[in-house]
């Protein structure tokens, strides 16, 4: 979708902005009326961080794009997730091991959420930010700050931090809690296999996972 109410003949250099891909950090250029664009480095779909649809309330061309607003709202959710990923990477700095673990955990969490009906935004955010939580005190201050800076909804921040702190008791968030746990275990298995030249994990998978989808994914991982 591109805005039908803007004439590019009157644009200035400021009409083009740049954002870094949260996956590979390659710069991606956006025209100001482009909601999304693919990264030429890794093909990840980015959402334009400078896109503002407040004009829908007054623009005479609003009727031409109003029917696409559900798509735009989904893309806004994608933008929040991209910002969480990017901010988490900055938080970890040069700790490449934790960056790798967060990326692997997020990837597993997103796939498990699709398979089991979890909330992708919540589980992906929690998976990315698990490494920011102190293992002893369970302090989620850093995770909260990262999500606030990413523009996350307060309800999402509340559920993510409750999952990370281990204080989530809401029955409706049970699936999300199980997914984040299993995604973390999957990433640990993956990392361990890479560092031990593919040696098999000790112990039963039944004892390590809380969802059937994760057990099946682990079995596939161990067969590689």
Instruction: Report yes or no on 87 lying in a domain.
Output: no
pLDDT at 69: 46
Question: Looking at the DSSP assignment, which residues form a beta bridge with residue 30?
Answer: 17
Residue 166, in any domain of the structure: yes
Same domain, 57 and 138: no
**Residue-wise pLDDT tens digits, 135-157:** 889 999 999 999 888 878 888 89
pLDDT at 37: 82
Q: Residue range 16-21: average pLDDT?
A: 84
Q: Are residues 50 and 112 in the same domain?
A: no
Choose among 177, 190, 184: nearest CA to 123.
177
pLDDT (tens digit per residue) in 179-193: 999 999 999 988 887
134 & 167 share domain = yes
Do 195 and 109 lie in one domain? The reply is yes
Residues 67 and 117 occupy one common structural domain: no
Domain count, the chain: 2
* Strand 45-47 relative to strand 36-38, pairing: antiparallel
How far is residue 94's CA from residue 7's CA, in Å, rounded to a whole number?
Answer: 43
Tell me the per-residue pLDDT of 84-106, one tens digit each, with 9 for 90 and over. Answer: 888 888 888 888 888 889 888 98
* pTM (predicted TM-score): 0.63
Contacts of 100 (CB under 8 A, 6+ apart): 191
Same-domain check for residues 58 and 155: no
Whether 80 is covered by a domain: the verdict is no
36 and 128 in a common domain? no
Helix or strand run (H / E) with residue 165 = helix 154-165
Judge if 62 and 124 occupy the same domain: no
Q: Tell me, yes or no, whether 64 and 99 share the same domain.
A: no
Range of the domain at 48: 19-73
Tell me the CA distances in angstroms from 144 to 96, 110, 129, 209, 216, one per residue in order.
22, 20, 9, 27, 32
Percent of the chain with pLDDT over 90: 19
- Residues 126 and 161 reside in one and the same domain: yes
| pLDDT tens, residue by residue, 58-85 | 465 555 554 554 444 445 556 667 778 8
Q: What is the pLDDT of residue 13?
A: 80
Give the end of a domain, one of 73, 108, 141. Answer: 73
Residue 31 within any structural domain of the chain: yes
Q: Are 109 and 202 in the same domain? A: yes
The answer to whether residues 101 and 63 belong to one domain is no
pLDDT at residue 151 in the model: 79
Give the residue carrying structure tokens 């596939």: 220
């Amino acid at each position: 979708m591109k805005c039908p109410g803007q004439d590019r003949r009157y644009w200035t250099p400021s009409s083009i902005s740049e954002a870094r891909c949260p996956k590979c950090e390659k710069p991606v250029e956006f025209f100001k009326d482009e909601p999304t664009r693919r990264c030429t480095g890794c093909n990840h779909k980015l959402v334009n961080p400078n896109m503002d649809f407040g004009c829908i309330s007054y623009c005479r061309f609003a009727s031409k794009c109003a029917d696409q607003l559900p798509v735009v709202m989904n893309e806004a959710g994608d933008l929040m997730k991209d910002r969480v990923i990017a901010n988490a990477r900055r938080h970890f700095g040069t700790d490449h091991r934790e960056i790798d673990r967060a990326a692997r955990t997020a990837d597993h969490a997103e796939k498990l959420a699709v398979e089991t009906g979890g909330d992708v935004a919540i589980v992906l955010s929690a998976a990315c930010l698990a490494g920011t939580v102190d293992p002893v005190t369970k302090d989620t201050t850093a995770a909260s700050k990262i999500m606030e800076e990413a523009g996350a909804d307060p309800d999402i921040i509340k559920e993510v931090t409750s999952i990370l702190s281990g204080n989530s008791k809401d029955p409706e968030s049970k699936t999300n809690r199980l997914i984040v746990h299993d995604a973390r275990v999957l990433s640990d298995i993956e990392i361990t296999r890479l560092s031990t030249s593919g040696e098999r994990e000790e112990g039963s998978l039944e004892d390590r996972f809380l969802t059937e989808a994760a057990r099946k994914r682990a079995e596939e991982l161990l067969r590689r």
